Amino acid sequence: MTNQEFGDLLPLEKIPTGIEGFEHISLGGLVEGRTTLLVGTSGSGKTVFTVELLFRAITQFSRPGVFVTFEERPVDIVRNVRRLGWNLGELVEQGKLAFIDGSFDRSITAETGTYDLSGIISQISYAVKTVGAKLVILDSLGALFHQYSDPAILRREIFRITDVLQSLGVTSVMTSERLEEFGPISRHGIEEFVTDCVIVLRHVLDEEHVRRTIQIHKMRGTLHHDGQFPFLIDDRGVSILPLSAMELKQLSSSERISFGNVDLDGMAGGGLFRDSIILVSGPTGGGKTLMCATFVAESCRKGERVLLLGYEESREQLLRNAQSWGVDFDKWEKQGLLRMVCQYPEAQGLEGHLLSIRREIESFKPRRMVMDSVSALERIANLRVFREFLIGLTSYVKQEQVCTLLTCTTPELSGGESITESHISTITDAIILLRYVMIDTSLRRGMIIIKMRGSQHAKDIREFTIDNQGLHVGRPLSNIHDILSGIPSATSAVPSS
């Protein structure tokens, strides 16, 4: 343990926390040997966050820790995190963790004159030396202000605690309350003393889902990502979704794989790239689900695992649809090549969906994935959140090299641009539009590839048909206008509107 004195000019180092996504947004973790202030309103997840920091420090990085609690009693903390599978009691028995109980002591009946926090400071120094602690948590400072009446003493003493922690050479995290999500940093002006690093946790209601975010407000002397990143607390603890901080990698694979349809492969200049993201947009009944089935079938025939995420139809409907084109999903699922997950969009918030998808990919390890449809998820969040979700999703599947087919249902039967399309077009590698086309008095089907990154592709509009054998691409349709935005029609026909 080194004493970081004034003349010690080593740059600040960061230590990893093991919390999913935190290293990414903080560019490495907590600043070593310094105090980080973690602020948030009541219920924003401060305690869980700090307990997880400590638990992972001890179990993943062999860094013993001390938890100083001013709010909940140690037994309550230990009991509360048992559901996450974290056995803190065991760590205490093994001498890797020490609790210091500074929670409300109802036998203290009066204050008279001046006092200080030497009691807790002595305990901290003793506990740090006893367990060889590298990380100290103090949760929460606000509770001290409720227990003791002299804020001037408390502020001075908190400052003294940060000094002591620094001289002990430990990394520390203090938590403090906020009254409002976007008001002053913390309630008692503590941030004026703990000035190195400030992290803000927020939770706000968005479209009837609680949306939690984490923001690194300040990390002195080091770089970090700005902005608020969504996070979730589930049965594995805290997961931060680094969304826009993710790097959007360019295509790196030149390996082509098949759509499952020779004609489509031909239109796309020889198939799809292995790590590409393909958007198929079209109206209801326009052939999207068939394209999905074709894509799934191809994957299974090649013996590659494929994950099918359904947000519009139930499992039974998906099975039945596929059956009608002679595709047996059931068989492949039994063989372990296909995994179908159907969920109502409203079942959880978008961060929840994203995390579920990531977990599915982690455990099933598919080579291909289908989401039918991604536009069904539009309605459960505001646009900004939806866009973040798409970026998070697409960058994750790219990173994992999962060839992904996304479908998007256009709002009108004839086509037109949807929200999904306009938000996703820049991050997809290929876009295929399926449209109804009015020719003379009959409604025909047309498709066009409007984008195929890194490859030549057919530029004309092709007619296609669907029968019980699947999808068949036919001749180019000529003289069609407005396939991208308006109502496609042929010039030879009487305009339909």
Partner 1 sequence: MSPELEGVRSDPDYRFALYIAGDTDLSRRAEANLRRIFENCLPRQYVLEVIDVVINPRLAMQDRVTITPMAVKLHPEPIRKVIGDFTDRCKVLSGLGIETVHGQDENQESSR
Task: Tell me the closest approach of the beta carbon of residue 74 to partner 1, in angstroms.
Answer: 10
**Cβ–Cβ < 8 Å for 474, 330:** no
Q: Does 152 participate in binding partner 1 (rule CB under 8 A)?
A: no
CB of residue 5 to partner 1, shortest distance in Å: 23
Kindly indicate which of the ranges 110-118, 187-195, 346-354, 386-394 contains the residues binding partner 1, using the contact rule CB under 8 A: 110-118
Q: Is 116 in the site for partner 1 (CB under 8 A)?
A: yes
Per CB under 8 A, the list member of 80, 87, 123, 167 interacting with partner 1 is 123
Query: Is 284 among the residues that bind partner 1 (CB under 8 A)?
Result: no
User: Tokens representing 1?
Assistant: 């343990």
Residue 251, strand partner residues: none
Stretch that binds partner 1, among 3-11, 94-102, 199-207, 282-290 (CB under 8 A): 94-102
Kindly tell me which of 123 and 348 has the beta carbon lying closer to partner 1.
123
Alpha carbon 444 to chain centroid distance?
41
Pairwise CA distance, residues 270 & 82, whole Å: 53
Q: Which of 102, 242, 282, 446 binds partner 1 (CB under 8 A)?
A: 102
| Site for partner 1 contains 126 (CB under 8 A) | yes
Residues belonging to the chain? 497
Residue 137 pairs in a beta bridge with 67, 173
- Nearest-approach distance from CB 95 to partner 1, in angstroms: 14
**Could you tell me which stretch among 7-15, 98-106, 289-297, 485-493 binds partner 1 (CB under 8 A)?**
98-106
String of b and e for 215-244 (b: at least 16 CB within 10 Å)? bbebbeebebbeebbbbbbeeebbbbbbbb
Regarding 442 and contact with partner 1 (CB under 8 A), the answer is no
- Collapsing DSSP to helix, strand or coil, 95 comes out as coil
Q: Closest distance between partner 1 and the C-beta of residue 110, in Å?
A: 3
DSSP for 443-489 reads: EEEEEEEEEETTS----S-EEEEEETTEEEEEEEPPSEE-SSSS--E
Tell whether residue 93 is a contact of partner 1 (CB under 8 A).
Answer: no
**Which residue in the set 5, 8, 105, 208 belongs to the binding site for partner 1 (CB under 8 A)?**
105
Q: Does 322 bind partner 1 (CB under 8 A)?
A: no
d(CA 419, CA 432): 16
Closer residue to partner 1 (CB): 125 or 244 = 125
- Give the burial class of 306: count Cβ atoms within 10 A of its Cβ; 0-12 exposed, 13-18 middle, 19 or more buried: buried
76 in contact with partner 1 (CB under 8 A): no
In the complex, least distance from residue 125 CB atom to partner 1, rounded to whole angstroms: 7
Based on the shown chain and the rule CB under 8 A, indicate whether residue 100 belongs to the binding site for partner 1.
yes
- DSSP-assigned states of every residue in 400-417: TT-EEEEEEE-SBTTB--
- Binding of residue 148 to partner 1 (CB under 8 A): yes
Contact residue for partner 1 among 82, 115, 151, 301 (CB under 8 A):
115
Residue 159 makes contact with partner 1 by CB under 8 A: no
Cβ-proximal residues to 342 (8 Å cutoff; 6+ apart), any chain: 309, 310, 311, 313, 314, 315, 318
d(CA 259, CA 278): 10
Q: How far is residue 471 CA from its own chain's centroid?
A: 35
The minimum distance between CB 75 and partner 1, in angstroms, equals 13
Binding residues for partner 1, rule CB under 8 A, total: 25
CA distances (Å), origin 429, targets 105, 287, 386, 398, 455: 62, 20, 19, 11, 10
Query: Is the CB of 106 or the CB of 475 nearer to partner 1?
Result: 106
Minimum separation from the CB atom of position 86 to partner 1 (A): 23
The footprint of partner 1 (CB under 8 A) covers 100-102, 105, 107-123, 125-127, 148
